[in-house]
Copies of this chain bind each other. A is one copy, B any other.
């Protein structure tokens, strides 16, 4: 029996800054779940920077499709509780994640694919884990951080690990996990405040502000004997400095190269050092390491619960606040993961 429920719909694409005027909250009828479907009462929905790219008539090539006008936002990771099930493996009361966010209820196919490569809808362990963590550190961000350490063979600890953009979403998890795993962590970031947080709160062995000190110089000072692993979120001069500083058999996890996204990209001119020092550079994407999802959620979840790894979130209350949350996040007024509690 269909029942009314509220959802956010896109009414127009913003020319400049996004605001509540580009959305409206609409009441629609949600049908009963058909065969292989469940009805979910959503409890947390994600607010991601990438949404902005889809609020245009044509999304960038290779990215997710744009959100159609007059429709709900499909492809936004959300957590909720099953309130009616017609699908094997899903019971009433289960907490699940699925891609139909920015609405209060959703009818979901059991095999639906999530965005960001987080697999299909599945039951989440919320016995002692806050469910919204699955939209933050235990979701795509956590998987990127954890699988980067995995591809660089750095889950064992006991080495010197440099993390760039170490106050960012991924980098801050990498730096904290690095410390927790027993690495000597060197961290770089773009402000004195971030450096202070890394040293005082995270407890890295050394940190520097790359606006004030060239990475090559800073590494000479903070890791005079070299580094074993570099988790690269920046590229450019950071990657070159890493190749110089890496010891024999060093590894690089190539997570991103922000420095190449604007302006003329420069490759690492000292790439020949990879041959000389038997270095391995592994490009990777968390979404291609779904085999590590359970392990990541178990280990990182444990560290988050015991407090040895922390994360920040900014929470807005109620579906009506979702457009404001997006606007605030894009304007830099939120910190950490931005969420709406429904």
Contacts and interface: CB of A to CB of B under 8 A. Distances in A.
A284 B279 CA distance: 7
A274 B260 CA distance: 13
A2 interface: no
Scoring A257, A275, A276 by chain B CB atoms within 10 A of each residue's CB, the highest score goes to A275
B268 A271 contact: yes
Interface in A270-286: 270-285
Contacts of A260: 269, 271-272
A288 B278 CA distance: 8
A283 B276 contact: yes
Contact of A285 (B278, B280, B283): B278
A280 B255 CA distance: 12
Nearest to A283: B274
A159 interface: no
A44 B103 CA distance: 80
A267 interface: yes
What 9 pairs between A and B have smallest CB-CB spacing? Answer: A267-B267, A274-B283, A267-B268, A281-B281, A275-B283, A267-B269, A257-B272, A279-B283, A265-B269
A235 interface: yes
A284 B277 CA distance: 7
Contacts of A55: none
A240 interface: yes
Contacts of A266: 267, 269
Contacts of A254: 271-272, 274-275
Nearest to A257: B272
Contacts of A281: 274, 280-283
A106 interface: no
Interface string A228-259: 00000001000110000000000000111100
Nearest to A285: B278
A271 B259 CA distance: 12
B282 A280 contact: yes
A91 B288 CA distance: 55
A153 to B, nearest CB: 12
Nearest to A256: B275
A224 B270 CA distance: 30
Contacts of A276: 283, 285
B275 A257 contact: yes
B271 A257 contact: yes
Contact of A239 (B257, B264, B270, B271): B271
A270 B280 contact: no
13 contacts: A151-B280, A235-B271, A235-B272, A239-B271, A254-B274, A257-B272, A260-B269, A267-B269, A267-B271, A268-B271, A274-B283, A280-B280, A281-B283
A279 to B, nearest CB: 5
Nearest to A239: B271
Nearest to A151: B280
A272 B265 contact: yes
